[in-house]
């Protein structure tokens, strides 16, 4: 993908009180992050970013940690799950054997997803939806990634600032991070930009209405364009090219214990993020896929 910031962007990334112009996104990636003290504080600063960076659509990702490249640069990395290390060292780069294994598991999960989807009465009656799922790999990857079935070449983001801020607040009581990414203008369910080397998937437009989770989370997924669907294709890319940190507009940090104080902007509950199987039938299918490929 192309690096954001070939043209200057406006950013928050350290404790400078106002947004500043940045000529190189690496400056944002190296920085510790801009501290915000409440949701209103964050929302005002994101509003300034949206006003000043008019050529980009802003999407958000919350994380409990700022994973840094272990190389000499020490920059923020936002790689898709299939190209990350393990949970103890996510910034490391898996080797050929591990990545090949993950792609094989992804291929099995895709086939299992289609089979189970086709045998679910409430879904199989929608021929248009089932045909789209069978024809378009990016849709299968989107469901598998968002429902956390297995690693994929996609990265979860959201258009909702409040959801992005709430998500890491349930995972850590220490300082957490919110990343702002800039993408091209969105057009329809799937936006593919050859110039940016990006695909952007709007989950609410590719998942059936009964799939509650992606609609509640206002989820989007980012992927390379063209798709990287096997290790042999990945070998044509350098690791730093398969990193959505290249699209980083701003980096915020906050303490969840004080950030959500007050009732005006309460934190979204964990149950709202993860509806039960009885409320989201796609959870039943994806849970079956997860168990089948283990």
On the question of pLDDT at 277 being above 70, the answer is: no
φ, ψ of residue 214 in degrees (nearest 5) = -65, -30
On the question of pLDDT at 37 being above 70, the answer is: yes
- Among 74-88, 178-192, 245-259, 265-279, the minimum mean pLDDT is found in 265-279
Domain ranges of the chain: 9-293
Cα separation, 286 vs 20, whole angstroms: 43
Mean pLDDT of 8-13: 93
Say what angle helices 127-135 and 137-146 make with each other, to 10 degrees.
Answer: 100
- Among 18-27, 30-39, 275-284, the minimum mean pLDDT is found in 275-284
On the question of pLDDT at 5 being above 60, the answer is: no
On the question of pLDDT at 4 being above 70, the answer is: no
- Which residues, 6+ apart, have CB-to-CB distance to 278 below 8 Å? none
Query: Are residues 289 and 144 in contact, defined by beta-carbon separation less than 8 angstroms?
Result: yes
Cα separation, 278 vs 52, whole angstroms: 43
Cα separation, 141 vs 203, whole angstroms: 11
pLDDT of residue 294: 87
- Over residues 92-137, the pLDDT tens digits come to 888 889 999 999 999 999 999 999 888 877 766 666 777 788 888 9
Model pTM score: 0.91
Q: Label residue 200 by pLDDT band (50, 70, 90).
A: very high
On the question of pLDDT at 6 being above 60, the answer is: no
């Amino acid at each position: 993908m192309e690096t954001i910031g070939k043209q200057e962007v406006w950013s928050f990334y350290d404790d400078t009180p106002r947004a500043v112009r940045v000529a190189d996104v690496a400056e944002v990636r190296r920085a510790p992050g801009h501290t915000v003290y409440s949701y209103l504080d964050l929302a005002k600063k994101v509003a300034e970013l949206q006003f000043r960076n008019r050529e980009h659509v802003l999407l958000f990702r919350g994380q409990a940690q700022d994973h840094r490249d272990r190389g000499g640069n020490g920059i923020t990395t936002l790689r898709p799950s299939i190209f990350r290390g393990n949970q103890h060292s996510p910034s490391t780069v898996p080797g050929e054997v591990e990545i090949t294994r993950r792609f094989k598991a992804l291929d099995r999960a895709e086939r299992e997803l289609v089979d189970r989807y086709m045998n679910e009465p409430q879904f199989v009656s929608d021929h248009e939806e089932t045909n789209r799922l069978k024809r378009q790999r990016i849709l299968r990857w989107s469901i598998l990634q968002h429902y956390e079935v297995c690693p994929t070449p996609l990265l979860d983001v959201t258009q909702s600032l409040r959801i992005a801020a709430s998500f890491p607040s349930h995972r850590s009581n220490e300082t957490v991070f919110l990343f702002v990414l800039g993408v091209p203008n969105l057009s329809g369910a799937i936006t593919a930009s050859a110039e940016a080397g990006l695909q952007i998937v709007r989950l609410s437009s590719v998942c059936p209405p009964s799939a509650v989770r992606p609609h509640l989370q206002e989820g989007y997924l980012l992927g390379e364009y063209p798709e990287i669907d096997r290790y042999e294709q990945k070998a044509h890319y350098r690791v730093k090219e398969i990193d959505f940190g290249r699209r980083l507009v701003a980096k915020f940090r906050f303490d969840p214990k004080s950030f959500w104080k007050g009732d005006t902007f309460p934190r979204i509950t964990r149950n709202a993020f993860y509806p039960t199987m009885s409320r989201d039938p796609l959870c039943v299918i994806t849970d079956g896929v997860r168990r089948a490929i283990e």
